[in-house]
Amino acid sequence: ASPNNLANTIVRQAMTLAASGLVIGIIAAWQLSRLISELLYAISTVNAGVFAGVGLLLFGVASIAAILPARRSTRIPPTDALRAD
C-alpha cells in the first residue's frame, strides 16, 4: 500500500469511530438535559448552539489525534514495521 492509502485508511477509521461516538454522545446529552430541565424549576438547559460548538470542537480534536499518528506512520519504512513485529 502506498503511504497515502495507509494514512487515508487510518484517518477514515478514526473519523468513523469519532463521528459515531459524537452522534451517540449528543443524543444522550440532549436527552439528559431535557430530563434535568424537567426536574429543575424554570430552567432550560437545552441549547443547540452549545451542543454544536462542543461537537465541532471534539471532532476537531479527534481529527488532529488521528492525522498526527497517520502522518508519522507513513514515514516508517514497511520493512522496519514488519521487522518490529
Answer yes or no: is pLDDT of 24 > 80. yes
Query: pLDDT digits over 26-47, tens only?
Result: 999 888 888 887 777 766 667 7
pLDDT at residue number 85: 64
Asked whether 10 and 73 are in contact (CB, 8 A), the reply is: yes
> 15: buried, middle or exposed (CB in 10 Å: 19+, 13-18, 0-12)?
middle
Q: In whole numbers, what is the pLDDT of the chain averaged over residues?
A: 87
Q: How many CB atoms lie within 10 A of CB 85?
A: 4
CA-based max dimension of the chain:
64
Answer yes or no: is pLDDT of 73 > 90. no
